[in-house]
Amino acid sequence: MPVVNMKQIVVFTDLDGTLIDHDTYEFKEAQTALEMLRDRSVPVIICSSKTRAEIDLYRLRMGLNAPFIVENGAAIFVPHNMLNIAEENLVEKGAFHVVELGTPYGILRDIWRKIKDKENLRMTAFSEMTIHEIVDRTGLPFEEARLAAMREYSEPFVFSDTIDRLRLLERLFEKNGLQMTRGGRFYHLIGQNDKGKAVRTLKKLYTQTYPTMKLWTVGLGDSANDIPMLRHVDIPVVIRKKTGQWEHIPAVGPVIYSEKPGPKGWAEAIHRILSEADQYPDS
């Protein structure tokens, strides 16, 4: 854990449209900022709607080794021997302890199909798409689209019906104890999890492990599904979209808005926060 003006900084970040470009999925404009954080031993925690398999790939490319949050807060993956999590209800998956907060994919998929068939809704889920169709809709290379299809806790989908039917769909999900959220490209059917709950849980794990340290959390995102995360960090950052707009973040205190979109805006915000770190209070 780092000491930056006696503050222990932890960075939570979305991927699509934030740390990686919305269209190219590249992050080279953020590379220098990532290296700066790594030099200061600042944990960079990916908090994304992406799957574990996808995030594993980006962690490798970016040289990250911190815990990470998958599928809109559905599960927290903590590398073995990294944090004090003995009291948590855990499962083991490969090299990770996993705190599961979401609903298993099979349950989500079955409810989604039943509602679609009963109401004759015009919508298409990942589970109905071939890998080639996912490539066409996302622009991902084939192998990365295959990783995107490896869902464990969420069902992304496209909706092409009316706004009234969308509201009906949302009510029907809620009756089944589920919810939907909107990302950069897709709607997502999820359980009673969100990025904010996962961030709160992971912050607690860091506090348990480092009880004498003052954590100072930064959150960076660009979409509606990032709002719960941004509500539970000390420094919320909204990354500008390529359209030139920013996501509206209600009921949040002072917010940093990047001037640039995507990884350029991410780097801009990180440089600003680190350079102004001594201006933030310790309590």
Catalytic residues: 14
| Single-letter amino acid code for the residue at 138 | T
Three-state SS for 117? helix
| Residue spans of beta strands (DSSP E) within the chain | 8-13, 44-46, 68-70, 75-79, 90-93, 96-100, 123-125, 155-159, 179-182, 187-190, 215-221, 235-240, 256-261
16, β-bridge pairs: 20
Which residues have a Cβ under 8 Å from the Cβ of 113 and sit 6 or more positions away?
Answer: 125, 127
Q: How far apart are CA 222 and CA 51, in angstroms?
A: 18
125 vs 180: CA distance, rounded Å: 13
Q: How many CB atoms lie within 10 A of CB 155?
A: 26
Check the CA dihedral 154-185-263-243 and report its sign.
negative
